[in-house]
Amino acid sequence: MTIAVCPGSFDPVTMGHKDIIVRAARMYERVIVAVAESPSRKAPLFSLEKRLKFLNSSLLGLDNVGVAGFDGLLVEFAKAKKASVIIKGLRAMTDFEYEFQMAQINHKLYPEIETVFLVARPRYSFLSSSTVKEVAVYGGCLDDLVPEEILIKASILFLASSFSLRSAQRRQ
Ligand code: ADP
C-alpha cells in the first residue's frame, strides 16, 4: 500500500488545499494530511486543534484520508507513518523555488521518499491561507475560498480574531 503525506500549515484549510487532497486521494491508497504544529515560516492564527477540526470537517467522506498534527521534521513524521510520498501543490514560480529546496533537503534526509507536485487548478492558483485571512479581516465574503463545511465557523472565528489582527496591524 502506498501512503502519501500532504503537509502544510492549513491556517486555515482553503479550497486550494482541499482540491490537492482530493486529487491525492484518487492517486494513493492512503493519504495523511500532516498539519505543522508550529510552522517555521509563519506563526499560525489558529491553534493546531482548530486547524485539525477544520480539516476533519472539510474532508468528511474521503475514506482513505486521515489528518494528524506533527512537530519537527516532516521526513521523521513520514517515516513513522510509513509514507513513501510527499504531495505538494504548486501555484506559481514563488512556490516552486521554496518547494524545490524542500524536496531536495527531504530527499537528502530520507532518500526513500519522493516528492510529487500537483499543479494548482487555475481557479485556485491565486488562493492561499494568507489571502483568506486578508479577505476575512476586512469582512469580505469567504464563499468559494474555504470549504463550505467550515464557512460559518471560520467566519465567526475570523470576526473574533480580526479585531486583534487589525489592532496588531495598526501598531506595526
Ligand atoms: P499556504 O501557502 O496557503 O499558507 P500551506 O503552507 O498550508 O499553505 O501549504 C500546504 C501545501 O498546499 C503546499 O504544498 C502549498 O503549495 C499547497 N497549496 C496551498 N494553497 C494552494 C492552492 N490554492 N492550490 C494548490 N496548492 C496549494
Segment 77-94, tens digit of pLDDT:
999 999 999 999 999 877
Distance CA 1, CA 29 (A): 6
Average pLDDT, the chain: 90
From 6, 91, 106, 115, give the residue whose CB has the most ligand 1 atoms within 8 Å, as the site to mutate.
91
Q: Is the pLDDT of residue 160 over 70?
A: no
Q: Is the pLDDT of residue 167 over 70?
A: no
Distance 103 CA to ligand 1 centre (A): 15
Distance CA 171, CA 143 (A): 30
pLDDT given for residue 165 in this prediction:
57
**3-170 topology per CATH:** Rossmann fold (3.40.50)
44 within ligand 1 shell (Cβ under 6 A): no
Distance CA 135, CA 122 (A): 19
pLDDT given for residue 161 in this prediction:
67
**Where are the domains positioned within the chain?**
3-170
pTM: 0.90
